[in-house]
Structure 1
Amino acid sequence: MTKKTPISLTIAGSDSGGGAGIQADIKAMSANGVYAASVITAVTAQNTRTVSAVHEIPAQIVSAQIDAVLSDLDVQSIKLGMLFSPQIIQAVAQALVGFKGAVVVDPVMIAKSGDALLQDQAVAALITHILPRADLLTPNLPEAARLLNQSEATTADQLVAQARCLLDMGPKAVLVKGGHGAGDICSDALVTAKGVTWLTAPRINTRNTHGTGCSYAAAIAAELAHGAPLASAVQTAHSYLHQAIRAADRLSIGTGHGPVHHFHSVWP
């Protein structure tokens, strides 16, 4: 009997530079041993320096892509990234009705270059239609602040307090990432109804951090597709991403914020 192949689906925007979005998700999922399927919500003209254009995919085409994948592939986990508009958010939420696997939501709002990847009017739709569907929500510090309409957390206590406020919005767990913080140690907090788990690592001095959030969430989704418990999936993905950032300067990609090295353990 053929062994079941773990499959993850990423629903996100395309990054033509290959460092973030769909491309980063597929790389991270593949590096963590799962087959990656994809649904594209937007096409961006993007490189390591800027996002110069965004083309939104019609909501009905997004729905058709999801239906095509879920009607044929035995998907164990889904990672949501750039959803861009209220129409796409509603289409994704409707298409996921009945899905029994794990859903990881990375609330992509702003590119590394500072360009907007989520329409202002889409924030409320994300909160209403997507957050209650999430098994794990993975905001960075600016994203957590924007979802809550608060100032960005600057202390561990503030970070945990914001995570708990986000937990009240419906996700089963919240992982607030401290990569935008200060200090020699980067601290992420995994917050559930049962408590707080801290994940820490030395902060790495590199400008090549494009796609870190996408890759982290995709790696978590991959581990969940393998059947790992949430805490274990987050820990494994955290370690993977840390090594991918450590190895990022082995690559020479573009003239701005280059990508992490998704295949650091594979490439010589």
Structure 2
Amino acid sequence: MKLCKGEIPAALTIGGSDSGGGAGIQSDLKTFAAVGVYGTSAITSVTVQNTLGVMDIWDVDVSIIRRQIKAVAEDIGVDAAKTGMLHTTEIIEAVVEEISLWGFPTVVDPLMKPKGGASLMTPGALVTFKEKLIPLAKVVTPNRQEAERLSGVKVRTLKDAEEAAEEISRLGVEAVVIKGGHIDTPEESVDLLYEDSQVKTYRLPRLDSKLTHGAGCSFSAAITGLLAKGFDIKEAVERAKRIVFDAIRHGFDVGKGYGSVNPLAELHLKSEKYAVIMALEEALEKLNTRDEFFELMPEVRMNFVYALPRAIDIKEVAGFPGRITFDGKQLASVSRPRFGVSTHVAKTIITVMKSFPDIRSALNIKYERDLVDASVKLGLNVLNYDRRLEPEKIRRTEGASIPWGVEQALKELDLRPDIIFHLGDIGKEPMITVLAETPREVLKKVVKVLKNR
């Protein structure tokens, strides 16, 4: 059931409601919005649920489920749909009949057991699920445990996942994606796509996070939305994996159990990037309002950086290309701030953020003893490290010196840092780095230090 040409694509989620807002149709609708499709829903069950688990389930009458699907398909249209929680045999059979009637491409997310609490599929429903729903699916997206139940194959490794995917494909589905969150690949999360007897893997770093509630729902919803927009399965899976990776990294730490993913993280980050650039431009303007700032210029020049929330790589830190220099009249940069252009100061802030995630901005300035003394007198937390003690292995490793030094400084005093400095070494200029939550707060600290030097 297609929309009129030129209209926004529409995607339908058929599944359960999560009162905690992290999974189910709530997660699906957020994800549809994130990928740029119009989201609609047909609720199959209402769950009593939070971050700790599912406490109770109330199933919607199958006639109401049918009418919800019909109402959406007749009026708005369905470019692609997904199924989530289908609790009973009767619900599965009703959904199968509606999918067959309307003929929209469907992604099947075989929800069986949440992280905690009641089962999302009654024991007798699995046979109907395998025999009637999966053959209608364009894509099915089981995790390791679900793949084992659907295939009968014990899944521990990627080779096992490939065997399970091949077995599931024999049920008639066009493509199988086995999610790698629970597969034994310690450094990476590897999703496996089996399509047309071919295997493709999708790899991203494994995240150590409890903000994973709704990750599976968001993944299948992202695939659905992208299929609705005309992406092929391989492209849809690749983009969906990145969306969920960001959704976990920037998830919501709510509740007492597993926090929720943030399907809109990609959109929020785009907005945050703009705010970061604007804040740095404002900071450079402020630097030019006081003559004494010019005197803080080190020989290697300075850079002012600002990281995105939860940044883990210098590509997620904005700074000034070519650093900030003094052109004889004012402090200037060759161009506007950009992400990924700073190395030393960016590595400083990335290392600090591992211990203090809210400290996201830094400015390096010329080392002078009276600046350090003024900082101490003001009660700022001043940390330092000795570059002469740098291990030979660190010296020989490109880009390892700054993280090593900052880690040493943080270990030495175990304080939230305001200032980190070092006295240099052969060929290395002594340097002070001022740290704070934002560029504006960095400048406030610098002004206080200058007034008290």
Coarse TM-score class (shorter-chain normalised): over 0.9
CA-based RMSD: 1.4
Q: Secondary structure at the match of 2:190?
A: strand
Q: Secondary structure at the match of 1:3?
A: coil
Q: 1:114 Cα deviation (Å)? A: 4.8
Partner of residue 106, structure 1: 109
Structure 2 distance, partners of 1:210, 1:202, is 18
Partner of residue 15, structure 1: 18
Partner of residue 120, structure 2: 117
Q: Percent identity?
A: 37
One-letter amino acid of the structure 1 residue matched with residue 267 of structure 2: V
Structure 1 residue ranges (4+ consecutive) displaced by more than 6 angstroms after TM superposition: none
Q: Secondary structure at the match of 2:51?
A: coil
TM-score w.r.t. the length of structure 2 is 0.57
1:200 and 2:203 aligned: yes
One-letter amino acid of the structure 2 residue matched with residue 4 of structure 1: E
Q: Pick from 239, 242, 247: which aligns with 2:242? A: 239
**Deviations 1:35-61 (CA, angstroms, capped at 9, x unpaired):** 100000000000000211100111111
For 1:30-179, list aligned pairs within 5 A.
30-151=33-154, 153-179=155-181
**Deviations 1:186-213 (CA, angstroms, capped at 9, x unpaired):** 1111001240010011110101100111
**Deviations 1:28-83 (CA, angstroms, capped at 9, x unpaired):** 11111011000000000000002111001111111111111111112100011101
One-letter amino acid of the structure 2 residue matched with residue 262 of structure 1: P
Unaligned segments of structure 1, at least 5 residues: none
* Number of equivalenced pairs: 265
Q: Secondary structure at the match of 1:266?
A: helix
Partner of residue 287, structure 2: none
Q: Relative to structure 2, which stretch is displaced further, 189-198 or 214-223?
A: 189-198
Q: 1:150 Cα deviation (Å)? A: 3.9
Structure 1 distance, partners of 2:263, 2:236, is 17
Structure 1 distance, partners of 2:64, 2:150, is 27
Structure 2 distance, partners of 1:213, 1:225, is 18
Q: Secondary structure at the match of 1:79?
A: strand
Structure 2 distance, partners of 1:178, 1:2, is 37
One-letter amino acid of the structure 1 residue matched with residue 231 of structure 2: A
Unaligned segments of structure 2, at least 5 residues: 273-453
**Deviations 1:204-228 (CA, angstroms, capped at 9, x unpaired):** 0101100111000000000011111
Q: Secondary structure at the match of 1:96?
A: helix
Structure 2 distance, partners of 1:106, 1:119, is 16
Structure 2 distance, partners of 1:252, 1:212, is 14
Partner of residue 219, structure 2: 216
Q: 1:85 Cα deviation (Å)? A: 0.3
Q: 1:247 Cα deviation (Å)? A: 1.1
Q: Secondary structure at the match of 2:130?
A: helix
Structure 1 distance, partners of 2:201, 2:264, is 26
Q: Relative to structure 2, which stretch is displaced further, 225-234 or 141-150?
A: 141-150
Q: 1:2 Cα deviation (Å)? A: 8.2
Q: Secondary structure at the match of 1:71?
A: helix
Structure 1 distance, partners of 2:47, 2:212, is 18
1:185 and 2:195 aligned: no
Q: 1:101 Cα deviation (Å)? A: 3.0
One-letter amino acid of the structure 2 residue matched with residue 66 of structure 1: I
The answer as to whether partners of 2:37 and 2:225 remain within 8 angstroms in 1 is: yes
Structure 1 distance, partners of 2:103, 2:126, is 25
Q: Secondary structure at the match of 1:107?
A: coil
Structure 2 distance, partners of 1:149, 1:157, is 14
Q: 1:178 Cα deviation (Å)? A: 1.0
Q: 1:252 Cα deviation (Å)? A: 2.7
Q: Secondary structure at the match of 2:52?
A: coil
Structure 2 distance, partners of 1:133, 1:171, is 7
Q: 1:155 Cα deviation (Å)? A: 1.3
